[in-house]
Amino acid sequence: MMKTGTPLEHLQKAIQCETVSYGDRSRINFKEFDKFIAFLKESYPLLHKKATLEMVEKYALVYKLKGTSNLDPIALMGHYDVVPVKVEGWKVPPFGAEIHDGYIYGRGTLDMKGHVIAVCEAVEACLSEGIGFERDVYLLFGHNEETGSEMIDSGARLTRNLLKQRGIHFNLVLDEGGAYINGKAMGVDSTIALIGVGEKGYLDVELSATQSGGHASTPPHTSALYDVAQAAMKMESHKFSADFNPATEAMFKALIPYMKQPMKFLFKNRQLFKPILLLALVKSPETAATVRTTSVMTMASGSSAPNVLAQVAKININCRIIPGDSIEKTVRRIETRVGPKIKVTPKNGNQPTEICRSDIPQFEIVSKALTSVYPELRVVAPYLMVAATDSRVYHGMADAVYRVPPFSSMKDDRSTIHADNERLSIESYHKGIEFFKKVLIEATKTK
């Protein structure tokens, strides 16, 4: 069977599959997921001829291409589910995959069907050109990443468990993430490509206060909602302390050769100037998130009527935990800060991941692939991912787990992820295919 369609047409068809995932699984239209899988089989005949395909939890896809050696395999990860859409804010149909001014628009273009389809295109291209792989290649495509890898039916977690039972250990795992940033804030006169080498932990904490309730016309000295709001404000106004961690240390080390003075001097002697540097880093929300555990109010609830006092008032605090901290330490700090009057209930937690090394061949392979596809890039550095990905579950069963930004247009359009008018530059998409092809060729070599 011959491959049909162009890479761009394939991405359009992928976006047109409305693979929206919900925490409430009864709301999911799995016919759209079936449609996506059928599209993959039709569009990538060589992949489906040469690889074995297993389905985990019915819809998580595990492709395996056999290599010529028995050395540790590599894995290219992704997910094909997307977040829900509010159509009102879109200028174009969110699942129309329309093309305008060099961009393809649609939910999932950046997060992350563009990534998944670029991987498939790269694999199909290698197979059509007769390029063999010395290491086994796994393609691991999850179907419910957007609702979190901590869920009991997480495709990524169940796939990890299956492969771990089989004794699989990866040489390299590559997933979504990373970023392109303007280097000026770090004293670097160019765009910096950041590769995620680890992730912060995740924790939701419910703060609650309880009272007898009653009519709002005769309020108590302080209401339950006031008490819990005051406690939450203590968390907002008194931030967690900042410090360097292995990921930031690795990033600084990579950037120092490209920094201008006086930044170069300060970061070269960063232990001496740590208080000054940390004070500067915490002024920006982006850099602050890389050096400290964060907490922020996200949800609140009180009574069910405007003239009724709340018997139970609740506020959710969302925390992202820095490496070196833990869920247990974070909960203890919150309990100490809000005081005994407030009940603190931890929920939905993941510990920070290990930090993978960036001074190993796997990082160099990924870095060189990026700079060869985007020659304008002068600097590639490791960094700490502040968001969560499915790849976090593979720490401990891989030599290197990285999060990479294959599309340089993300620098300008990152804000459209999970938002209105998500889009991907067509030029960037094609370069992303080239990037994955280079990674496949180099990362599967055994020498």
Global pTM reads: 0.93
Confidence of residue 213 (pLDDT cuts 50, 70, 90): confident
Choose which CATH entry (3.30.70.360, 1.20.1440.230, 3.40.50.720, 2.60.40.1150) describes domain 201-240+296-351. Answer: 3.30.70.360
Worst-scoring range by mean pLDDT, 105-109, 119-123, 187-191, 363-367? 187-191
Mean pLDDT over each residue of the chain, to the nearest integer = 95
Residue 149 has pLDDT above 90, yes or no: no
| Residue 120 pLDDT | 98
Confidence of residue 429 (pLDDT cuts 50, 70, 90): very high
Residue 319 has pLDDT above 90, yes or no: yes
Mean pLDDT along residues 363-387: 95
| Residue 446 pLDDT | 82
| Residue 146 pLDDT | 95
| Residue 248 pLDDT | 95
The segment with the largest mean pLDDT, out of 38-47, 179-188, 371-380, is 38-47
Worst-scoring range by mean pLDDT, 184-188, 292-296, 341-345? 184-188
Each domain of the chain, given as residue ranges in start order, spans: 7-177+387-443, 201-240+296-351
219-269 pLDDT, tens digit each: 999 999 999 999 999 999 999 999 999 999 999 999 999 999 999 999 999
| Residue 378 pLDDT | 87
Residue with token string 């690795």 = 250
% of the chain at pLDDT higher than 90: 90
Residue 3 has pLDDT above 60, yes or no: no
CA distance 226 to 302: 10
Mean pLDDT along residues 379-396: 94
Choose which CATH entry (3.40.190.10, 3.40.630.10, 3.40.50.1010, 3.20.20.140) describes domain 7-177+387-443. Answer: 3.40.630.10
